[in-house]
Amino acid sequence: MSGQLVTFVPIFVFIAILLGFVITNLVLAHTVGPKKHTPVKEMPYESGMDPVGDARQPFDVKFYLVAILFLVFDVELLFLYPWAVSAYVEGQHGKYGEPLSATHLGHDSPGIPYELRGTVFGVMLVFVATLAIAYVYAWRKGVFKWR
């Protein structure tokens, strides 16, 4: 074994454990698990929809509402993440609390300039508050009740 490959040993061990875990579980489930065949269980899985029949059946709007709400919070995270990462980065353009000077401006700094931090923080608060209002609205309108 060459010297460089030794560094990868943990990864090989990891792959072995991973494969062993999956295979063991599959085999165990196949041999030990009880087998009760019902017509519903025999059907191909189609996200809760009936896979056999007319393709033009009405689709419950509840799925759509939940998907939209999921998307809202998904996008929220997408929006919060860059801010959280770059909001308080230090050292790139002066320490936190130190005003921006001309020497710092030339640098490619990932952080938000000190002068703008207050504004950006306010913007983020407004953003989260707006989403909270949307959430309260959806909750009160009964979107989360799976009737």
Partner 1 sequence: MFQHLTSAISQVLPEVVFLAAACVNLAVGPFLIGDDGTGPKGLRHRWGAWSLIALTIAAWLQCVPAPVVEATGLAPFLSDSLVSFVRLVTTVTGVVLVLINWNQIEERDSAESHACLLFILAGANLIALSNDLIILFLALELVSIPTYLFLYVARRDRSGQESTLKYFLLSVFSSALVLYGFSILYGVAGTTNLTALHLVFKNHQLTTMPAMLLVSIVTIVAGLAFRITAVPFHFYAPDVFQGTANSAAALLSVVPKVAGFIALVRILGQPSITAAIHLEYWSLASKSGGLLYLLAVATMFVGNLLALLQTNMRRLLAYSSIAHAGYMLVGLSVAVSVPQINDDATAASAGSVNGLPALLFYLGVYGLTTLGVFALIASLSRPERPLETISDLAGLSKTHPAGAFLAAVLLFGLTGLPPTAGFLGKLTLFLSAWSHSTEGRTLAICLAINAAIAAWYYLRLIGVMYLQSSCDDTRRATGVPAFVGVSLCAVASIALFFAPDWLWQALQRVGS
Residue 121 interacting with partner 1 (CB under 8 A): no
Q: Of the candidates 140, 145, 146, 147, which one interacts with partner 1 according to CB under 8 A?
A: 140
Nearest residue (CB) to partner 1, 49 versus 133: 133
Single-letter residue type at 5: L
Q: What SS3 state is found at 94?
A: coil
Size, binding site for partner 1 by CB under 8 A: 11
17-38 core/surface letters (b: 16 or more CB in 10 A; e: else): eeeeeeeeeeeeeeeeeeeeee
CB of residue 55 to partner 1, shortest distance in Å: 22
How many CA atoms does the CB half-sphere of 36 hold within 13 Å? 3
Six-digit token string for 82: 């860059």
- Applying the rule CB under 8 A, the residues between 89 and 118 that interact with partner 1 are 113, 115-116
* Interacting residues with partner 1 (CB under 8 A): 113, 115-116, 119, 130, 133-134, 136-137, 140-141
